[in-house]
Amino acid sequence: MGFLQEAGYNPAAHDISVDSLDEAMIKLARFVGISTPMHTAMRIGINAARRIRELNPGCHICFYGMYAALNADYLLETVADSIVGGEYEEQLVDIVRQVESRAAMSRPITGSVKIKREPNLQRLEFPPVNRDGLKPLEEYAKLEWNGQERLVGYVETTRGCLHNCLHCPIPAVYHGRFFAVPRDIILDDIRKQVEMGAQHITFGDPDFLNGPTHSLKIAREMHREYPHLTFDFTAKVEHLIKYSKLLPQFKDLGCIFIISAVESLNNNVLAYLDKGHTREDVYRSIEIVRDAGIEMRPTWVAFTPWTTIDDYIEIVEFVYQERLIDNVDPVQLSIRLLIPPDSRLLDRQEIKPYLGKLDQESLYYRWEHPDPRMDSLYRRISVLVEEAGCTNQDPAQTYKLIREAAYAARGEVPPEPFHYQAFEQRKRAPRITEPWFCCAEPTKEQISI
């Protein structure tokens, strides 16, 4: 929005993750850009593009963002006229100029000529952020903490990532590079969101500690201006250990929880995913974060071709023994490895025995577990989690059912009874109210438009 505005355009924003498609606006558009930073956004965007094409056959449809780059060939064959990835903003503006130029000459702006730009990996000069036309913060996920809900703002201080975890889609586009967004741009955006009512900021960087000095300066300035603001961020296990001395400072500046992609407790699985940490590091990182006075919210890829029933039960018991039930949203225990097109996992021999064909509609390669009990358990856990979400079930009760299902898959019952304080009587860890994660399959409700 900011880049387009600086180029002299007056773009209209429409967020179909929280609103229905504005058909009247679509019918008037010559260009529609569909943002696809993650898997769920991609699925929503494809459904939207089909409807846009019905409403406005001559409109130019551009998909931009990380998942657009990963699925470029399929998109251009089906619903897209152009694709832009990486640091995409300047390329997107250039495509808009081409569309406007063809329209001015009364030439068709869609047709057989497709535009596929290679992902830009050059640093951009960022204009001020423009959020005009987006829904108010009340329409988005909120912070739930101490029995209250707070409005949440969102910024990214960096884009891309230094690391190359094999299952992550970012390395397939950024190849180990990351770019810092200028501090003045970020802080100006935070100010705008505070004016909109934000009481908490989520730093959405793939890893907030890729540039620890940059991140710390932003957190300090934000706290100086808005000492009441709390925040959260995401960081790798290895960075939590490497920069452990910084965590107490982040706590003093308002950090209340940290998300970290633990993924597994099996060292072989962690090695296959090239995570850069071990089982022992997981325990150490949780201790470090707790000692800093911050809540840890570990995330998981609970089902992979190499994860056994014993491994899954170990994750479940780990969550219980480490008192993390309120720190791990139940959906986390249902996440199955997604392998998108161009995934770096596809080059690894370890995945080949289990790999099936590319399901182009679903945007990932299918795979089967060598132990059929694990695929059955995955389906069972998915049902439990979906039902729990529909009924707003206490996470502890959902966890109890997941634990029982896991042991049942091994033909056993849990060796010890489950004891956990009632929902109303315990102090729950801070959380964002939308338990959605980038590597999870979307629900039917999420991808409806």
Instruction: Report the distance separating Cα 38 and Cα 439, nearest Å.
Output: 8
pLDDT in tens, 43-97: 999 999 999 999 999 999 999 999 999 999 999 999 999 999 999 999 999 999 9
* CB neighbour burial string for 104-141, b if at least 16 within 10 angstroms, e if fewer: eeeeebbeeeebebebbeeebebeebbeeebeebeebb
Instruction: Report the distance separating Cα 178 and Cα 137, nearest Å.
Output: 28
Asked if the model's pLDDT at residue 422 lies above 70, the reply is no
* Residue 146 exposed, middle or buried by CB count within 10 Å (0-12, 13-18, 19+): exposed
User: Model confidence at 446, in pLDDT bands (50, 70, 90)?
Assistant: low
Average pLDDT over residues 200-210: 96
Asked if the model's pLDDT at residue 427 lies above 60, the reply is yes
Residues of each domain in the chain carrying CATH 3.40.50: 2-116
Q: CB of 290 within 8 A of CB of 296?
A: yes
The DSSP H or E segment spanning 355 is strand 355-359
What integer pLDDT is reported at residue 438 of this predicted model? 59
φ and ψ at 287, to 5 degrees?
Answer: -65, -40
Short-list 254, 241, 338, CA closest to 286: 241
- Report which residue type is found at 172: A
Asked if the model's pLDDT at residue 439 lies above 60, the reply is no
What integer pLDDT is reported at residue 445 of this predicted model? 60
158 - beta bridge partners?
A: 180
Which fold does the domain 137-447 belong to in CATH? pyruvate-formate lyase- activating enzyme (3.80.30)
User: Model confidence at 121, in pLDDT bands (50, 70, 90)?
Assistant: confident
pLDDT in tens, 306-364: 999 999 999 999 999 999 999 999 999 999 999 999 899 999 999 999 999 999 888 99
What integer pLDDT is reported at residue 447 of this predicted model? 59
What integer pLDDT is reported at residue 228 of this predicted model? 96
Q: CB of 156 within 8 A of CB of 210?
A: no
Give the range among 73-82, 170-179, 209-218 with minimum mean pLDDT.
170-179
pLDDT in tens, 122-163: 889 999 999 988 899 999 999 999 889 999 999 999 999 988
What integer pLDDT is reported at residue 169 of this predicted model? 86
pLDDT in tens, 238-261: 999 999 999 999 999 999 999 999
Average pLDDT over residues 227-246: 97
More confident site: 378 or 107: 378
Q: What is the dihedral of CA 199, 205, 210, 214, to 10 degrees?
A: -40
pLDDT in tens, 368-382: 999 999 999 999 999
Instruction: Report the distance separating Cα 5 and Cα 185, nearest Å.
Output: 15
The DSSP H or E segment spanning 446 is helix 444-447
Q: What is the dihedral of CA 7, 84, 41, 191, to 10 degrees?
A: -30
What integer pLDDT is reported at residue 110 of this predicted model? 65
Helices (H), 106-211: 170-174, 183-195
User: Model confidence at 108, in pLDDT bands (50, 70, 90)?
Assistant: low
pLDDT in tens, 264-323: 999 999 999 999 999 999 999 999 999 999 999 999 999 999 999 999 999 999 999 999
Q: CB of 201 within 8 A of CB of 231?
A: yes
Residues of each domain in the chain carrying CATH 3.80.30.20: 137-447
φ and ψ at 78, to 5 degrees?
Answer: -120, -70
- Report which residue type is found at 375: D
Short-list 153, 151, 155, CA closest to 129: 155
User: Model confidence at 437, in pLDDT bands (50, 70, 90)?
Assistant: low
**End-to-end Cα spacing for the chain:** 22
What integer pLDDT is reported at residue 106 of this predicted model? 66
Q: CB of 414 within 8 A of CB of 122?
A: no
CA distances from 376 to 180, 297, 303, 372 (A): 43, 27, 11, 6
φ and ψ at 285, to 5 degrees?
Answer: -65, -40
Mean pLDDT of the chain: 92
Query: Which of 3.40.50, 1.10.620, 2.40.50, 3.30.2010 would CATH assign to domain 2-116?
Result: 3.40.50
CA distances from 95 to 62, 322, 396 (A): 9, 51, 50
What integer pLDDT is reported at residue 418 of this predicted model? 85
Q: CB of 71 within 8 A of CB of 59?
A: no
